[in-house]
Amino acid sequence: MAEIHAIILTLNEAQHISRCIESIRAICKTILVVDSGSTDDTVEIARSLGAAVVVHPWLNYATQFNHGITAMVGHSGWLMRIDADEYMTLESAASAMALLDKAPTEVSGILVRRQIIFLGRRIRWGGVEPNWQLRLWRAGQGACEQRWMDEHIMVSGRVIKSDIDIVDENLNSLDWWTTKHNQYASREVIDILSSRGLFLNNDDINLSNASRQAIVKRFIKDNLYNRLPAGLRSIMYFAYRYFFRLGFLDGRSGYFFHILQGFWYRTLVDAKASEVESFAATAGVSIGEAVRIKTGFDPAPTTAKEA
């Protein structure tokens, strides 16, 4: 029988961690929680459910997750990525074991279908589904792409699709959601500046095996979306999602989701990038220093040159 070893990153996830672990512990030989300094009961709850816990200072998701992968060196079978506010459906847990037991040896990665629940409703339209993500891979054959935002697992062998569903249902408030996406926007600014050659290049999923959907989306984002005028592109993106991709069929919850995630967030990223570059020019400081001052994030550990 195939062995599965799950990695979960946490910071103050007491509200979600039990649901996450309970959904996978019947199929996982090992569950490793990599915590970045929770001040609530996250660590205690995880340990009470049989998970191993290591504490590691946070830099970004990719660095944190790769620390978890390193901690799993020596484990055989398959590794699994699942976020603390996600859970695997009961049917998918059984399906996962059957699939992994018969997976051909040339298969290194398994794509799962990620569902998003927002304000109590599953978001199905606007290009959100199907959302294929590489979440299972053979131990020793995968790593997390080194980016500050929108990072993916890259593997060395063949990747196949599955009928496994992972549900993303965050139970925190919209205040929490907007604060989190404000931080995401700051992190994405670093990736945007990196793509302009201001920092070291990020890992490129096009040069390895990952979700084909992720590769296509990355190509469109880098070669089409990011070349459109800032400000206009977020309007066009929302219109594409909400009208052309039928996002309006997601109802009231979908309206708020597509506005916030498809328009507000993308506009915020553009505004923050403009703020950083303008501040660097007027204050006579490097882009890296401007990022540190305006966002609070330090790109230095993963960058080498600044303008």
The DSSP H or E segment spanning 116 is: strand 107-118
Q: How far, in Å, CA of 287 to CA of 183, rounded?
A: 18
Query: Is residue 62 within 8 Å of residue 151, measured between CB atoms?
Result: yes
Is pTM, for the whole model, over 0.85?
Answer: yes
pLDDT tens digit string along 173-182? Answer: 999 999 999 9
Query: Is residue 110 within 8 Å of residue 99, measured between CB atoms?
Result: yes
Q: Where are the domains of the chain?
A: 4-169, 174-298
**286 backbone φψ class: left, alpha, beta (φ>0; ψ -120 to 50):** beta
Query: Is residue 227 within 8 Å of residue 270, measured between CB atoms?
Result: no
Helices marked H in the chain: 17-24, 42-48, 61-71, 90-102, 174-195, 212-223, 232-239, 251-257, 265-283, 287-295
Mean pLDDT, range 30-46, rounded to an integer: 98
* Fold of the 4-169 domain: Spore Coat Polysaccharide Biosynthesis Protein SpsA; Chain A (3.90.550)
pLDDT tens digit string along 127-145? Answer: 999 999 999 999 999 999 8
List the one residue out of 220, 256, 276 whose CA is nearest residue 120. Answer: 256
Q: Which two tokens stand for residue 25?
A: 């512990």
pLDDT tens digit string along 186-245? Answer: 999 998 887 665 555 455 555 456 667 777 787 788 788 888 898 899 999 999 999 999
